[in-house]
A = this chain, B = another copy of it.
Amino acid sequence: MRTAQRAHTRAVGPKPQSKVSRPGASSAVLANVPDLRKNTVYLGDCIDVLRSLPAESVDLVFADPPYNLQLEGQLSRPDQSTVDGVDDDWDKFESFADYDRFTWDWLSAARRVMKPDATLFVIGSYHNIFRVGSTLQDLGFWILNDIVWLKSNPMPNFRGRRFTNAHETLIWASKGPDAKRYTFNYEALKAGNEDCQMRSDWLFPICTGRERLKNGEGHKVHPTQKPEALLARILLSASHPGDVVLDPFFGTGTTGAVAKRLGRSFVGIERDETYATAARARIEGVEPLADEALSAAPAKRSEPRVPFATLIEAGLVEPGTILTDAAGRTRVVVRPDGAVALGAIIGSIHKIGALAQGLPACNGWTFWHVLHEGRLVPIDALRAGFRADQRQARAS
C-alpha cells in the first residue's frame, strides 16, 4: 500500500518511504528519547531533531519553511536603491523534485510528533505553497482551510509587470479526515470579530518597526520575520493555554515569543545559531499575559478604499458613460477598466481631471459628474451609495 501511495502521489518523483512514521515504530523511538523539552530552542536540522522527539507530543504546529524563491539577479527600486531580498543558502534548492523531497521529509517527521487531534499551520507563497499543499494531501493530512494573510503594506511591484504580491497563504490541516476533535476556538474568535465568524482572509501589516529584530548595525536579523499578530491569531484560533506549540523553522522565535505571552509552551527547532541565539534573548524578554487577559484581540479591518473601477464592476456606472465637469463642458468617456478617456488621452479620474483643468492635482470624485435623473451628480455620490449598500449587506 505504501508503495502504491508513493507511486500515485502525483508521480512527482521517488518519495523516500523510510521516512514515514509507522505504527509501532514511534513507541520504540519514544523509549530511546528524552522527554520533550518545553520552551527550548533545539539547535539542529529540523528533520533530524523532529525524529528525535517523542511521538504524539505536541498540540499545534506552525511551520514557516523556506519558500524556494528562485530569485535571479538584483531588483532595484525606481530610485535605483537595491531591494534587500532573500539570498540565503537555506532557500536554495536544486529543483522542484528536491524541494518536494525536503517537504515530504519534514512534514512526515512533524506529523509523527503531533498528537492525534493536533493541527498544523504552514505558511508559504505561490513559489512553494502548491508543493506543500499537495504533499500534505499525499501524506494523509486533512486540509481544514486555506487562509490568506493580506498585507496592508506589501512591497510594490517595482517593474509594473505583475499584480502587487500582497498576500501569503496559510494551510491549516489536521492529521486526517477522522481527526475531528481538533481545537478551534470558534466562539472566542467570533466574539472578538464583531460577532461575525472569523473568515479565511486575515489582514495584518508586515513586521516592521520596533517589532522587527535588528542587529548591532541596525540590519534586520532575519529576512522573513513574521508579525506577532499573525502568530497570535493562529495560537488563539487553534490552541488552549498550556498547549505545546511546535515550530520546526523557528528563525528568530516569533512563535516562541507569542506562545510565552499567551500562556502556551513552545518547542522550537532552528539550525542557524545566530537566529537561535536571537530568539532565546527575545523570548527571555517577553512578559506573559495575566490569565484573564488571554482573549483574542482581533485586527479591525479598515474601511476598504473604493476605486472607480469598483463602481463599474458593481454596475453603478456603465462603461461608455459620459462624465463631465460641473458646468458640463469637459467630457470624458468611462472605460470598462475604470480609467477615463479624454479624446485619445487615457488615465484615472484624478489624472484626467487635473489635466482638464491644467492643475497639478484633482480629486476626480468631486470634479466629475454624471447625468442622473436629469441632473448632474458628482460621482462621489455614487461611491457614497455604494459604501452604504456594502455596510447594509455586511450587517444583514
A142 to chain B, nearest CB (A): 8
A190 to chain B, nearest CB (A): 8
Contact of A293 among B13, B205, B320 (CB under 8 A): B320
Given the known interface contacts A70-B5, A126-B145, A161-B186, the answer about A95 and B11 at a Cβ–Cβ threshold of 8 Å is: yes
Digit string of A78-113 for contact with B (CB within 8 Å is 1, else 0)? 111111111111101111110010000000000000
Given the known interface contacts A11-B95, A307-B192, the answer about A197 and B2 at a Cβ–Cβ threshold of 8 Å is: no
Do A197 and B10 have beta carbons less than 8 Å apart? no
A269 located at the interface, meaning its Cβ lies under 8 Å from any Cβ of chain B in the complex = no
Chain A residues 216-240 with CB under 8 Å of chain B are 229, 232-233, 236-237
Chain A residues 181-221 with CB under 8 Å of chain B are 184-201, 203-205
Query: In the assembled complex, which residues on chain B have CB atoms less than 8 Å from the CB atom of A243?
Result: none
A40 located at the interface, meaning its Cβ lies under 8 Å from any Cβ of chain B in the complex = no
CA distance A80 to B362 in the complex (A): 8
A328 located at the interface, meaning its Cβ lies under 8 Å from any Cβ of chain B in the complex = no
**Chain A interface, DSSP helix/strand/loop, else mixed:** loop
A184 to chain B, nearest CB (A): 6
Given the known interface contacts A134-B131, A191-B337, the answer about A150 and B97 at a Cβ–Cβ threshold of 8 Å is: no
A23 located at the interface, meaning its Cβ lies under 8 Å from any Cβ of chain B in the complex = yes
Having A82-B176, A162-B184, one finds 15 other A-B pairs with CB under 8 Å, namely: A4-B90, A79-B177, A79-B178, A96-B138, A125-B146, A131-B134, A133-B133, A154-B199, A160-B190, A163-B199, A191-B351, A192-B307, A232-B336, A261-B336, A293-B341
A51 located at the interface, meaning its Cβ lies under 8 Å from any Cβ of chain B in the complex = no
CA distance A75 to B140 in the complex (A): 10
A8 located at the interface, meaning its Cβ lies under 8 Å from any Cβ of chain B in the complex = yes
Digit string of A134-176 for contact with B (CB within 8 Å is 1, else 0)? 1111111001111110101110110011111111010110011
Do B129 and A87 have beta carbons less than 8 Å apart? no
Do A157 and B197 have beta carbons less than 8 Å apart? yes
A21 located at the interface, meaning its Cβ lies under 8 Å from any Cβ of chain B in the complex = yes
Chain A residues 238-275 with CB under 8 Å of chain B are 261-262
Query: In the assembled complex, which residues on chain B have CB atoms less than 8 Å from the CB atom of A337?
Result: 185, 188-189, 191-192, 236, 297
Given the known interface contacts A134-B12, A186-B160, A337-B236, the answer about A166 and B201 at a Cβ–Cβ threshold of 8 Å is: yes
CA distance A72 to B297 in the complex (A): 31
Question: Can you report 20 A-B residue pairs in the complex whose CB atoms are below 8 A from each other?
Answer: A1-B72, A13-B14, A75-B177, A76-B360, A79-B177, A82-B116, A131-B134, A152-B394, A160-B186, A160-B190, A161-B180, A167-B200, A188-B337, A189-B309, A191-B339, A192-B308, A261-B336, A297-B335, A297-B337, A298-B346
